[in-house]
Amino acid sequence: MNETDTIPRTTLGDLFFALRVVAKDSPTTLELLRQHFCVYKKYRPRGDLLWSTAASNTQELNRLGLLTAASIPKTRRAYEQARDRPISISDEGRSLCKQLREDTAKAYDQMFALMFQAHPYLRHYVRAIRESELFVPVVTSLKDHLSPKYVSGSVLADDVSKRCLDVDSFLQKLSERLGATGRILSNDERQEISRRVSRLVDETIPAATTEEPTEFSKKFIAKLNDYFLPALFATERLSFDYRTHQLIWAFGQEWKLWQSTSDHPEFDGRLIFPTAKIEFLSSSEKIEKLTFDSGLSKTREDFLAKLYDAYLKVQKITKETYVLAWHLRAVFCFDNRCQETVFERLVEEHYTGSDDFELTLEIQRQKGLHDRPLRVGKRNIGLVRVGRKRTSNA
């Protein structure tokens, strides 16, 4: 992949917030925008706190043609010089801001179309996800994802310092994890991953000998994802760093176009699947149509019956009567291609069950290993049981 891109390290919420601030008082300054961000994020607006938030959001909006800014600082020192330079809203920005107030959903769709045009990485991602779901074998555990011998950070640090990381075990585990999706790791991919991991080991030898082992292992895992994931997604042209993957996952959820989860019990990693149809001409950079065909109303149809199916599936895997709420959520959302927010709203609507189905929710009592808890009725739900009533004819 020759072309490069920078996906902004922000959220759509922040982008729209910045747009609203600039539209309200245009022309304004970066410093004023920074102060507004401090209030928005509930910090005291002292010094230059959140200068980079103001700068990165301005840069992205500038790139999308929604506002005009002379120069956007990349360093704290440059910010000091650029803080009072004017930022003005463009006609397109004003119109999008109006749209946000009148029809928020449409404004998000428009923002997607603009960012799709502006960001090649995003286009590659959409092309890939339009074909099928993506499975990302993110490394989060030394023992489970790297090698069973790494029971502690000190064993890893010791191996790295001796330049003898257990790469074979890592590749073996990677193959097993990918196997759940039917994907086979090619020899080229194996070689490329080994090469990249060796490079990482070379680079981290000094840290392995000096840093505290637990701290070192955390950093090593984060870097490992950055090093090996691009090799794994080269064919889909998604060979960008792990952080960019994470940003795109989050953007997709804000757009309600795709959902990412690491809670699916059948996959040991992160699963990203589309939740809407995205239509565009393959030669073009322009979005033709977005169809949210698995939104609230569609998913609401026979919701409890679909939930029961998902429950049986999880129950078959875990062999438990009460299944983990986040497992059930992930399986349901993946099978029905819907957003987790849709699932949560529908559970809230149906928590009393129906004539045919009985829903039992148990409050979460222990900390769970999940992306985020399932919230129903302002409580974290830990366990769920879905039952079909005996009187049901179905």
Partner 1 sequence: MPIKLKPHGQDIWSHFWMLRGNPWRQSEIFSIDRESTYVPEIYGDQLSEFYKKFALMPLSQEKNKQVIGAVWSTHTGDALGKGYGKSFLMAQESREINFDLGATKLRGFGISEDDITGNPFLAGYCTFDQAKDVKSFPAALLDAVSFILESPNGGENVHGVLRERIARKFDLEEGFESEAILSSLQRELRKYRGLNIQLTHASIERFMQKLCGDNTGELVHFIRHEIGPRVKSTQGFNFVHVFNAFLRLSGIVYVIYFVDQIENFARFARNQERDLKILRESICQTSPTDSMASFIFQMHVHALQTIEDWWDNIEHLPSLDPKRPINSSRIVDLQGLTTSGEAEILATRCLADNRIAGAKPPQPLHPFDPDIIEAVRQSAKGNPRRFGEKLGSILENAYLNDHPKIDLAFVTPLLDDDADEISSNTEEDIFANPDR
The residues that touch partner 1, with contacts defined as CB under 8 A, are 12-13, 16-17, 20-21, 24-25, 29, 31-32, 35-36, 39-40, 42-46, 100, 104-105, 108, 254-256, 276, 292, 295-296, 339, 341-342, 345
Minimum separation from the CB atom of position 46 to partner 1 (A): 7
Minimum separation from the CB atom of position 314 to partner 1 (A): 23
Whose Cβ is closer to partner 1: residue 233's or residue 255's?
255
Whose Cβ is closer to partner 1: residue 110's or residue 204's?
110
| Interatomic CA distance for residues 355 and 347, integer angstroms | 16
* Whether the Cβ atoms of residue 385 and residue 321 lie closer than 8 Å to each other: yes
Residue of 376, 348, 347, 351 lying closest to 364 (CA atoms): 376
Residue of 247, 249, 251, 258 lying closest to 340 (CA atoms): 258
Whose Cβ is closer to partner 1: residue 21's or residue 224's?
21
Minimum separation from the CB atom of position 350 to partner 1 (A): 15
Contacts 24+ apart (CB under 8 A), 209-216: 209/157, 209/161, 211/157, 213/152, 213/153, 213/154, 213/156, 213/157, 214/152, 214/153, 215/153, 216/153, 216/156, 216/157, 216/160
Whose Cβ is closer to partner 1: residue 159's or residue 340's?
340
Minimum separation from the CB atom of position 183 to partner 1 (A): 31
Whose Cβ is closer to partner 1: residue 30's or residue 201's?
30
**What b/e sequence results for 110-147 when a residue is b if at least 16 CB atoms lie within 10 Å of its CB, and e otherwise?**
bbbbbbbbbbbbbbbbbebbeeebbbbbbbeebeebbb
Minimum separation from the CB atom of position 100 to partner 1 (A): 6
Whose Cβ is closer to partner 1: residue 81's or residue 152's?
81
Whose Cβ is closer to partner 1: residue 254's or residue 371's?
254
Residue of 291, 266, 89 lying closest to 177 (CA atoms): 266
Establish whether the linkage from the previous residue to 27 is cis, with ω within 30° of 0: yes
| Interatomic CA distance for residues 128 and 238, integer angstroms | 8
Minimum separation from the CB atom of position 123 to partner 1 (A): 21
Minimum separation from the CB atom of position 31 to partner 1 (A): 7
Structure-block tokens of residue 297:
């109303």
Minimum separation from the CB atom of position 39 to partner 1 (A): 4
Whose Cβ is closer to partner 1: residue 103's or residue 320's?
103
Minimum separation from the CB atom of position 294 to partner 1 (A): 9
DSSP string computed for 132-176: S-EEE-----HHHHT-TT--SHHHHHHHHHTT---HHHHHHHHHH
Minimum separation from the CB atom of position 283 to partner 1 (A): 28
Instruction: Kindly list the distances between the CA atom of residue 10 and the CA atoms of 92, 208, 238, 389, in Å, as whole numbers in the listed order.
Output: 20, 32, 20, 47
Give Dmax over CA atoms of the chain in angstroms.
74
Whose Cβ is closer to partner 1: residue 42's or residue 319's?
42
Whose Cβ is closer to partner 1: residue 13's or residue 179's?
13
* Whether the Cβ atoms of residue 334 and residue 273 lie closer than 8 Å to each other: yes
